[in-house]
Each structure stands twice: as structure tokens, then as C-alpha cells.
Structure 1
Amino acid sequence: MYPLKFEHIYVNKVWGGRNLESFREDLPEGKIGESWEVACRKDVVSIISNGKYKGMSLDKLILKESDAILGTKISNKHFPLLIKFLDAQSKLSIQVHPNDFYALQNENDLGKTEAWVVLDAQENASMVLGVKDCSPDGFKEALEKGDLEPYLNRISVKKGDVYFIQSGLIHTMEGVLVAEIQQNSDTTYRVYDYNRGRELHIKKAMDVIDFSIHAKKASGLCIHKEGYEKTYYCYDHNFSLEKYKIEGSCIEKSDKERFYIFICIDGEGLIRYSNGIEEIRKGDTVFIPAGLGAYTLDGNFTLLKAYVPNIEKLEKEILGEIKYLSDC
């Protein structure tokens, strides 16, 4: 096994832009709103772009080398994660995602919990994360009148901000470039789309909006080590999100039970493993197979790490690291 890279999958969106050109040279024409970095769905599957398996789709490699790729605790029936970059230069629709139960009943798909990491932001960048001073009846009435803004919890955001977005949370964003880590679902219910003519899903959205939840900026738990620092941002049974800031080297080891995904958001460096070296730079996403073994992260760069955790094991790891706790 070796660290896998994938071809970029670009998606035009009415709210997209050209900011992915800050670290990409292959951007097609148009308003590019999304780059799907790691995808394994019936409709969209990532194609490996490096090494022995170059040109093979991820789903076929999983069939060929299931445990060595995914790990012994990750089912090969449904790939659990979807990794994207989003360039939201104008407003996304005001939207919500269902939980697993509702999505399985109504869409034959999983729900969608996600995390956003702001990679760049305009001066007036903002997000809506939940509602304020609003009951379901009040929200529906405001929606019918076309006057939602007073009831939206709109906040200013900046580069480096991290938000964990539970299913059921009403949300949108504008003026940001983000990395998105999410459940492997593409189910979105729009409640308002700024009169752009796309389909709305008001009945289903009202079914799933949780008016009691809000998202707060994740401050993270930061641990300093020799040559790097590691920040634990958020986790649940769907995924864990961590950040590595490498200024030297960091020795890691794959987990036979699960795969890891690294997203490089700044700088450049190397992944050294038993059979070779893989370069990594800003904008690259690298899949660490469960069977890779020991590897070293060398260079001056910043990585996001996403994976489906063993929660008990992760919490023990965090407790064991608290003695190193300090501000990053």
C-alpha cells in the first residue's frame, strides 16, 4: 500500500468563483463552486492519480483490497466520508441537511453532518449557523413573507475558523473558501435560494430543522510536540477532525482498523513511508490506507486529518495528551 492521490472533480455552481486557482492549475472555465477531493458514491467516484493504481477508481480498489484500504472496522458497503473544497463567492442557498433516520426513510441515503474549515475569507465574509429568536411557526411565516434575515444567526468569519455543523442546523455562507469534511451524503434541503430558480424543499426542510441547535467556532485542543503541533477540533461517530502544523517532522502510523485522509491547507512537504516518498503541497488531499504502516510527515506545512474514529480510543488518546496542553 502507498499514500493515494486522486484526480480533481470540479463542479460548477451558481454561487461559485475562481478562488481555487490560488492553489490549482487545472481549473476548468466557469464558476467553480466545488472540488470533490475524495468521493466514493454511485454517481461520483474518485480516480487514483498516482502510483501502481493510477487510473483505477476508488470503489474498484476497495473491492480488490478492502481491509488494506479501508481497515477492518470500516464497512465496504458504504464509504463513510466525502471531502470537498467549496468556493462560495456568493450566497449558498439557505439550507439544512437531514439526520440519518430521516434521510434513509425519505432519500435512501445517509444524513449529513459536516465541518467547515475557512481557508480564505473576504472582508465581509459571513455564515448563517442556526436561527435566533424564532419558533418553527415564526420561521415558516417569515419564509412565506420572504423576510428570513431577521431570524438567521449570521456571523462574521475569517481565515482559520472551524465550525462543526450538525444535521438539522440551518446554514449558509458567503465570501469564503472552505475545506468541507462530511458524511458521504449529497442530500440538501433548500428553504430559500435568493430567487435563482432552483428547486426548494420547504416541506422536508421544516421536517428536519432543529431550532434548538447553534454552531460555535471550534477553539480546539492544541498539543505541542517536537517538530509539530496537533489540534483536536471536533469528533462524533461520523468523523474526527484534527489539524497538524508541521515545522520539522512528525512520525505517524496507520491504523489497521481505519483509513485516514490528510488535506494540505498550507505549505508543502513529504510523506515518507517504507516503500517511497510522496510529495504534498497546499491543495493536495492524500488518502492513507489502513495497511500503509509507519510514515513520517516532513516539511513546513499544515494538514487537516479526517477519519471515522473509535471514540473510546480517541478519548483515551486525548486524555493522555492533556498534560501537553497549551495555546496554539
Structure 2
Amino acid sequence: MKVIKIDPHFSEKIWGTKNWKSLGYINKNDKTVGEAWLISAHINGLSYLSEENITLNDFFENNRQYFGNETYMKFPLLSKIINPSKDLSVQVHPNDEYAIQNENDLGKPESWFILECPPNSEIIYGHTAKTKNEFISLVKSNNWNKLLKTEKINKGDFIYVPPGKVHAITAGVKVFELQRSSDVTYRLYDYDRLENGKKRALQIDKSIDNVSLPDNDSYIVKKASGKTFSSNFFSVFIFKSTEHNYFEKYEDAFWVELTVIKGKGIIEGVSLQKGDSAILLGDFRKIKIIGKVEIIFYWIKK
């Protein structure tokens, strides 16, 4: 087994923060960072191999034998930590067909694991409209309180956000996000915020093109530790060493990725601590873990 440590790319956002210490990162440039792109081969936020001056995308292209050879035209997963000091815009993401045709990118199913949140936190998750005309009417009248649904969330919850789902992370809700490798986001509403003196661009028509009508089903797992989420896009398992002695692959996969979210430990002889991410390569079934540590494992099933 090869354990490849990955260094993140940090992305500035108007809703970001300078405080990343609680999540295991040092904000070296003292910038307002909103996202850490942990394991990313996307051109808009490339991460690097920790021990080599090479991007993950270049490593992927030069070592296809570890990643199913030609199974994936490009590296398919993107993991992030999102750390907002303000509400994110209300968004809709497209499916593959629409994104490829209109944006030359993949669609964007995504998922969140809640790392930290204020008491009584809520996220925006879904809408109330039954028809396209009703949706358009509520958007045009700025009747957001009637249109948008909210869900109460707590630390340790898991949320799946399929394409077409209206959604927004709210201020102070720190999440680990796993998604397809895509950077296509359509803003439906942005609270009339200003950036450099101007309102940020909205993509209302594209949002309407992609929104699920009526609203698609919700998928929220409370206290998700020890449970596996599996879809055609990605699978996720929340691991605690106090509950398990080792991680076992629950599905066949060409490789497995991980992010440490608490503590520190030794994974197959490699020391990792909170904030670290790595890719596990090779033909293996079980992963030996030593130490008091919590880890998010994620992969794509064959």
C-alpha cells in the first residue's frame, strides 16, 4: 500500500475567515479564506503531493495504473473544508448532461459532514414550490421565506445534496464537503451582498433550468459516525478509532482517500494528524490505524 499525503489549496471568499486553527490549518497569508481544497485535481484549485513538487492532476495523469487506467477521463473527486463566517449564497448545481453541454465541466452532486456549528444551527435545504411557474413567481417576488426550506443540523450530521437541490451553508457551520470534481455553481440568491461595490452575479435562469420540481427527497443522516453513505458518485465512511480497530473497504474501489478530522494517528506506518489528507493506493482490504483519531474515508465504488 502507498500512503500519499496531499497539501491543500486555500481559496479566498468574501464569506470566509482568517481563523482556521480549530480545523487544523495555519492561515499563513492572513487572508479571508473560505475553502481548503483538500484533495483536488481541478484546475481552479490544484492540491500538491506533500513530498513532491507535483500537482495531484499531474500525478494522476502519470500514474493511471493506480486509478483504473482509462476508467476516469479526469480525476473524479474533490474534497474540501468549508469555513464560513457569513451565509453562503443559495445555490443549485447541474447534472452531468447540462454541465458538460453548457460549462465544459462535470455535474456537481455533493455531500456535507458537519464538523462544527453554533447551537440551533440550520441550513437551507430544498424548496416549497410544486411547479416551475410557482418557483419562478416566488423568485421574482423575492419571497424567499416562503420558497426556501431549512433543516436543523448538529455536529456529526451527514447531508447529501444531489444536482437540482436548492441549498446553502449558513454562517459558522463548518463542513467537510465531498463532491464530484466540478466547479459549477449557479447562484439563485445572494442576500443582495456587495463585492467591490457591486452585487455578485446571479445565474437565475440556469438555476431554474436545473432545479428539481417538485423538490427532490431529503437525505440527512443524524450522528453519522460509523455509517456508510454510498452512491454512484462517491461513498463516505466516518471512522472513530475508539469504535474500530481498523478500516475495512466496504466496497471495491481502485483507491481510497482520507481526511483526519480529530486527533492524530499512524495509518499504515504514516503519521497523520487533524487537517491532514491522503490517498491510499494499492490492492488492500484492511487499513491498520493506531492512535486516538477520527477520519473521513471516501472513495468511488467500482
Q: What TM-score do the two structures reach when normalised by structure 1?
A: 0.82
Matches of 1:259 and 1:281, distance apart in 2:
21
Question: 1:208-247 CA distances to partner (integer Å, 9 max, x unpaired)?
Answer: 000331423224887xxxxxxx421x22111011111113
Task: Judge conservation of contact 2:10–2:37 (CA < 8 Å) in 1.
Answer: yes
SS in 1 for 2:116: strand
Matches of 2:298 and 2:169, distance apart in 1:
22
Alignment match, 1:249: 245
* 1:293–1:60 Cα change, 3 Å: farther
Matches of 1:214 and 1:185, distance apart in 2:
23
Deviates more, 1:147-156 or 1:135-144: 135-144
Alignment match, 1:262: 258
1:181 aligned to 178, 181, 184, which one?
Answer: 178
Superposition deviation, residue 28 in structure 1: 2.9
SS in 2 for 1:178: strand
The alignment status of 1:237 with 2:242, answered yes or no, reads no
Alignment match, 2:56: 58
* 1:244–1:72 Cα change, 3 Å: farther
Alignment match, 2:196: none
Alignment match, 2:37: 36
Deviates more, 1:234-243 or 1:159-168: 234-243
Superposition deviation, residue 295 in structure 1: 4.0
Structure 1 gap segments, 5+ residues each: 223-229, 311-328
Task: Judge conservation of contact 1:260–1:307 (CA < 8 Å) in 2.
Answer: yes
Counterpart of 1:238 in structure 2: which amino acid? F
Counterpart of 2:179 in structure 1: which amino acid? Q
* 1:153–1:254 Cα change, 3 Å: closer
2:276 aligned to 251, 269, 284, which one?
Answer: 284
Structure 2 gap segments, 5+ residues each: 194-198
Provide the aligned C-alpha RMSD in A.
2.3
Superposition deviation, residue 125 in structure 1: 2.4
Alignment match, 2:105: 109
Superposition deviation, residue 171 in structure 1: 0.4
- Corresponding residue pairs, total: 293
Matches of 2:132 and 2:94, distance apart in 1:
16
Alignment match, 2:21: 21
Matches of 1:20 and 1:27, distance apart in 2:
10
The alignment-based identity, stated in percent, is 28
Superposition deviation, residue 142 in structure 1: 2.1
Task: Judge conservation of contact 1:39–1:83 (CA < 8 Å) in 2.
Answer: yes
Matches of 1:268 and 1:215, distance apart in 2:
33
SS in 2 for 1:5: strand
